[in-house]
Each structure stands twice: as structure tokens, then as C-alpha cells.
Amino acid sequence: MSISMPKRMTVVVSVATVWTKPESPRPMDEPALKHPARIREWLGRMTLNDKLDLCIANRVQTQILYGSVVLVVEEVMKEGEGWSKVLIPQQGTRKDALGYPGWVPSCQLVAAKEAPVGSKRAEVIADKAWLYKNPTERSIELSYLTSLPVLEATEQWVRVQTPEGVGYLSVDDVRLIDGLLASGVGEAHIGRGIVEQGRRFLDLPYLWGGMSSFGYDCSGFAYAMHKYFGILIPRDASDQAKQGTFVEKEQLEPGDLLFFAHEEGKGAIHHVGIYAGDNLMIHSPETIKSIEIVDLSTMNLAKEHCVSRRYWK
């Protein structure tokens, strides 16, 4: 059923996986479809071939974090379960001007609430952080860069407004920001800061469509490392390669994005990495690997480098 006016809804699971269509998930994907989403269980039960199939069969589009607002434009029932077609405003794409499109189980969304007027937001800057129902009872394990409105801050806890009521985050796991994006992050060279944030996730396994610290794909990794510094770039590598500032190969600085295309750089763009200085690149390479730093002169994609872009200044 199409909806005449998009409905503002909020993600109510730690990580909502956005599927290509309601028929895309397999029986093994059941943990990722529930409320709460059991993201670790889902990742743990997939074999390498199962993970490859997410891409090969075009099952997954992207992911969204707890507390993120989406626009629901269509709702359907499949085998007794509700599904919502969403647009994700913070994930820019040429696919839709209103935001990245895809389908999520309706049980993973609730009606969006307005944040308290003038409130700051608590953004997770630990690799992962527990949201507590109260200071002694854990509720949900949240990803890096999950952001929630602040109700009160004390020396130990930040009390936040969650999609399901009041929650608590440890002050050690978050920073307070004034809006949806951080600004004025104290970094002398933001490009180097992007690289340093990326280094925190070395050895994290690649996940097709991944947009959380439970697993990133190549463009999701670039997107998140920029978002830490309040820089919102497009979701997909093919769109990222068309914006930002063009950078000549001889002028590369840490934090610049390197794009790779089929047919030795002449075909469709299929990969992005972050230049790390000294002819090195940090990237989330492919399903069979984890986030790594590679030497550009010897890596197997060297001949496919087609363009470089800078978003950080």
C-alpha cells in the first residue's frame, strides 16, 4: 500500500538492515529481521558463501542505526509480517532525492517523536556501547555513531530519549553534539583524523551493505569515518566519486578518497578506499577480508584507480 504522505518513523533496533525487497531475506536472516535485531547472531551464523550471497543475489542495500529517522512511503504484508519501504534522508543517493531507498521489517520502526527543544545529542564514539534501561540494567548494544537526544548529563551517565522511552549511556562512550552532525571537532588536520578513526576498525570483517561497527562495506566505511567529523558524504562509492573536490594523484593527502573502476579504471566504479599517506590506503576490501591497510603500488586494484576526491576541506 503506497502512502500519500511519507510517515516519519524511527529505527528501534540496534542496526536495521535495509533489504532490496521484502522477498530478499533468507531463512538464516531471521535474527536480523526481529525486534530486537540479533545482529551478532546473524553475522555469526553466516558462512562465507552466505555473506557473498548478500551481494551476488542483490539482497541488501544498506543499514540504519538505532534512533535514525526514516520516511516510510509504502507498506505491504508478506507471510503475515509487515514490511515498510523507507527512504533514509541522511544517506544521499541518486536513487531518490529524499534519501536511500529499501525495505525494512515494520516491527523495527516506531512513530518518530520530536526531540526536546534545544537538546543536544549523545553520539556513540566508542566502537560499541551499551544502552541501559537504568544504570544497572543493559538494554541494547549500539554501534559507533548512534545518536540520541540528551535529557540530562551527569558525571557518569547521559540520560537520553530513545524510541522506546528513557535510556542511559555511559559518559565514557559518547560525546555531546549540537545537532545531527558533529561540528568543530578539534582536529588540526581532519584528513589525518579520518584515517586515525579508520585505524580503530582494522581487522573488522567486511559486510556487504554494512553501515555499522558490526561490519562495514567499502563505501559505508568511508561514509562513517567522515560522519565522525560532521561531514556527510553520499552513501555509495559511485555517488561519492562524483562529488567532493577533485584531487590530482600528486596532491593526495591523508583522508582523501580513492576510487576504483572496472576495465582498468575505464568502467563502472566498484570500490573506494581512504588514502592514508605514504602511498598507503585503508579500506574495507571485500567479503573474504577485513578492514586493512595496503600499499597502493602492490595492491591488486592499483591499475583500476580512476579518480580521487576530498570532502574534508
DSSP 204-267: PBP-TT-EETTEE-HHHHHHHHHHTTT----SSHHHHTTSSEE--GGG--TT-EEEEEHHHHTS
Residue ending a domain, choose from 111, 132, 156: 111
Output the domain CATH number for residue 242. 3.90.1720.10
139 SS3 class: strand
Domain residues for 50? 2-111
Handedness of CA 194, 200, 201, 202 (dihedral sign): positive
Instruction: Kindly state whether residue 17 falls inside one of the protein's structural domains.
Output: yes
pLDDT higher than 80, residue 116: no
- The pLDDT tens digits for 22-58 are 999 999 999 999 999 999 999 999 999 999 999 999 9
pLDDT higher than 80, residue 175: yes
Residues 280 and 217 in one domain: yes
> How many structural domains does the chain have?
3
Residues 200 and 266 in one domain: yes
Residues 86 and 19 in one domain: yes
Q: Which residues form the catalytic set?
A: 218, 271, 283
pLDDT higher than 70, residue 257: yes
Cα 62 to Cα 153: distance, rounded to the nearest angstrom: 32
Q: Is the peptide bond before 22 cis (omega within 30 degrees of 0)?
A: no
Asked if 223 contacts 181 with a C-beta cutoff of 8 angstroms, the reply is: no
Residue 41 C-alpha cell reads as: 547472531
Distances (CA, A) of 23 to 18, 26, 60: 12, 8, 11
Instruction: Kindly state whether residue 164 falls inside one of the protein's structural domains.
Output: yes
Whole-number average pLDDT of the chain: 95
Asked if 115 contacts 122 with a C-beta cutoff of 8 angstroms, the reply is: no
Work out the number of other CB atoms within 10 angstroms of the CB of residue 197: 23
Instruction: Kindly state whether residue 96 falls inside one of the protein's structural domains.
Output: yes
Residue ending a domain, choose from 64, 86, 111: 111
Phi, psi (5° rounding) for residue 237?
-60, -40
Instruction: Kindly state whether residue 132 falls inside one of the protein's structural domains.
Output: yes
Residues 8 and 103 in one domain: yes
Instruction: Kindly state whether residue 133 falls inside one of the protein's structural domains.
Output: yes
- The pLDDT tens digits for 72-106 are 999 999 988 999 999 999 999 999 999 999 999 99
Instruction: Kindly state whether residue 116 falls inside one of the protein's structural domains.
Output: no
Residues 204 and 236 in one domain: yes
Mean pLDDT score, 207-225 = 98
Cα 225 to Cα 255: distance, rounded to the nearest angstrom: 9
Residue position matching grid coordinates 526514516: 70
Residues 154 and 215 in one domain: no
pTM for the predicted model, two decimal places: 0.97
Residues 106 and 73 in one domain: yes
Residues 155 and 91 in one domain: no
Residue ending a domain, choose from 177, 207, 222: 177
Residues 172 and 201 in one domain: no
Asked if 22 contacts 83 with a C-beta cutoff of 8 angstroms, the reply is: yes
* Secondary structure string (H, E, C) spanning 168-187: EEEHHHEEEECCCCCCCCCC
- The pLDDT tens digits for 177-189 are 998 888 766 667 9
241 pLDDT band, cuts 50/70/90, is very high
Residues 28 and 137 in one domain: no
* Burial (CB count within 10 angstroms: exposed 0-12, middle 13-18, buried 19+), residue 223: buried
Instruction: Kindly state whether residue 289 falls inside one of the protein's structural domains.
Output: yes
Q: What is the b/e burial string over 174-188, where b = at least 16 CB atoms within 10 angstroms of the residue's CB?
A: bbebeebbbeeeebe
Residue 159 C-alpha cell reads as: 540520560
Residues 301 and 223 in one domain: yes
Instruction: Kindly state whether residue 184 falls inside one of the protein's structural domains.
Output: no
29 SS3 class: helix
Query: Which of 261, 252, 201, 189 is CA-nearest to residue 225?
Result: 201
Output the domain CATH number for residue 160. 2.30.30.40
Q: Give bridge partners of residue 179 from the DSSP assignment.
A: none
Residues 12 and 103 in one domain: yes
